[in-house]
Structure 1
């Protein structure tokens, strides 16, 4: 089933027989490890098979545990995990707060630098996904997490990029999940991808909740 998410070329998501278009920001909502892994393993292995760049941040398990699970499920792809042209794996700290503080501005700059480097030799399709439970820790600046999520909707459209941000419904509050829904134009829930009626474009969301971050678009 195809879900039209932009005017860009289509990709296979790798789960549920879904296709969508590049240039989209999605939240994945799950309650069990099996639900989480259906998304992650399908999404990344499909990209791996067709030569996309996988950009992944595990948080409910270590990078080593992810690699072991990936090899068990896809032994024919095992050698790809250590190829930086296919996989870029980051801990939550290394990706989101390497200096100890979370900053939406730093995330804007870091993702743009990553994107420009990835495109230097040729166009690369990028599949990004992250488990967001790290954000439940008492990290300085984490109150601006949804600012970052909203601003991703400036960064991603028009690029050969898809991001799936994974939120565990058993760990995040209902209030937090509502903010997640407000900042992601599409959702995956129960294995089904849909357009999100609660989504607010970044100009609208930031003007209401964080006007100091409205300027300086990525």
Structure 2
């Protein structure tokens, strides 16, 4: 399993920085297609209005789920991390077997990609703190199932007030075509 040729492993949680949708798609779409062709359960937390576009681009796979912000990170326009984590649990329960459990779920591996562009409209110091907390919880949650997760941040939308905390909140960082074991990761 790879991200643009860089090897990934179960439990990996990457902060992926990109510039603009075109660069995002160059990195993201092959990662998603590799998973779909391998029979992995794939969850995309996409941008507003891209559910149909992604479904058309990726195809109609039974193990592909695409969720827009209002049913992922947001509820009624507000950031809802508890509801997001519940949704992730429900998705994993439907699609994956827990580590150490006998095979019962349809997929042996999961891939999650979350485009975080929705956060731009809600940016505040409080939101940044909440996002850091969510990312820490997601890193811990990822170890419960055989899966990887990418959190995608557009450098054209976000500045250092979000980028620096997100670097610290992820064990691995992807930037400018390079995957880095993050020396700045703040382990909890």
TM-score by length of 2: 0.85
Counterpart check, 1:153 vs 2:139: yes
Alpha-carbon distance, 1:116 to partner: 1.7
Counterpart check, 1:39 vs 2:27: yes
In structure 1, what is the equivalent of residue 181 of structure 2? 195
Structure 1 stretch 183-192 or stretch 93-102: which is displaced more? 93-102
TM-score by length of 1: 0.74
Residues in 2 aligned to 1:103 and 1:115: alpha-carbon distance in whole angstroms: 19
Residues in 1 aligned to 2:92 and 2:53: alpha-carbon distance in whole angstroms: 26
Distance 1:195 1:119, change over 3 A: same
Gaps of 5+ in 2: 98-103
- DSSP 3-state at the match of 1:107: helix
- Corresponding residue to 2:108 among 124, 135, 138: 124
In structure 1, what is the equivalent of residue 72 of structure 2? 95
Residues in 2 aligned to 1:24 and 1:113: alpha-carbon distance in whole angstroms: 20
- DSSP 3-state at the match of 2:72: helix
Which of the two has higher C-alpha Rg? 1
- DSSP 3-state at the match of 1:59: coil
- DSSP 3-state at the match of 2:184: coil
Residues in 2 aligned to 1:101 and 1:32: alpha-carbon distance in whole angstroms: 24
Structure 1 stretch 129-138 or stretch 43-52: which is displaced more? 129-138
Residues in 1 aligned to 2:76 and 2:49: alpha-carbon distance in whole angstroms: 22
Report the structure, 1 or 2, having the larger strand content.
Answer: 2
In structure 1, what is the equivalent of residue 2 of structure 2? 13
Structure 2 contact 17–152 (Cα < 8 Å) conserved? yes
Residues in 1 aligned to 2:48 and 2:153: alpha-carbon distance in whole angstroms: 11
* CA displacement, residues 153-207 of structure 1 (integer Å, 9 cap, x when unaligned): 2111252111000000111011210000010110111121111111111x2xxxx
Q: Which has the higher contact order (CA 8 A, sep 6+)?
A: 2
- DSSP 3-state at the match of 1:194: strand
Q: After TM superposition, list the pairs within 5 Å mapping 1:1-218 onto structure 2.
A: 12-15=1-4, 17-59=5-47, 62-68=50-56, 70=57, 78-80=59-61, 83=62, 86-119=63-96, 121-122=104-105, 123-138=107-122, 142-143=127-128, 144-201=130-187, 203=188
CA RMSD across the alignment: 2.2
